Amino acid sequence: MAGVEEVRAGIALANQKASESVAALQQASMSLEEAQQALADATQGSGQEEIMQAHGMLAEATQSLSGVQGTINASISSTEGYAGRL
Mean pLDDT of 71-79: 98
The closest alpha carbon to 4, from 65, 73, 84, 75, belongs to 84
pLDDT-based confidence at residue 61 (cuts at 50, 70, 90):
very high
Q: Enter the pTM of the model.
A: 0.85
Give the domain ranges of the chain. 4-85
What separation in angstroms does the CA of 48 have from each of 35, 42, 54, 57, 80? 18, 13, 10, 14, 49
pLDDT tens per residue, range 30-57: 999 999 999 999 999 888 999 999 999 9
Average confidence score pLDDT of the chain: 95
Q: Give the contacts of 55 (CB within 8 A, at least 6 positions apart).
A: 36, 39, 40
pLDDT of 26 strictly over 70: yes
pLDDT-based confidence at residue 1 (cuts at 50, 70, 90):
low
